[in-house]
Amino acid sequence: MSNISNEQSAESFFGEVISTYTRAQAIADGVLIDAGSMAREAGFKWPVALTSAVWADCVSWTEDDSKQQVHQDQSG
């Protein structure tokens, strides 16, 4: 099955595309945060992006976090 027939099949099933929102647009808007070099360092071979909510909850480092004197920060 060629790409054209796959696209035609998807369109016949789901209907015409109403709107698209790319990964690049989401990163530019701040909806996604590119994990880039940190993800590659951790062994990921594919592009990794986190939602801003996940970043804030799991990665972001604040002054309060620094005051706790733990051996961790935003860059690992």
Give dist(CA 18, CA 40) in Å, integer: 34
pLDDT digits (tens, 9 = 90+) for 11-67: 888 999 899 999 999 999 999 999 998 899 999 999 999 999 999 888 887 777 777
Largest CA-CA distance found in the chain, in angstroms, rounded: 59
What are the residue boundaries of the structural domains of the chain, listed by start?
22-67
Alpha-carbon radius of gyration of the chain: 19
End-to-end CA separation in angstroms for the chain: 45
Neighbours of 39 (CB within 10 A): 16
Q: Are 50 and 32 in contact (CB under 8 A)?
A: yes
- pTM for this one? 0.63
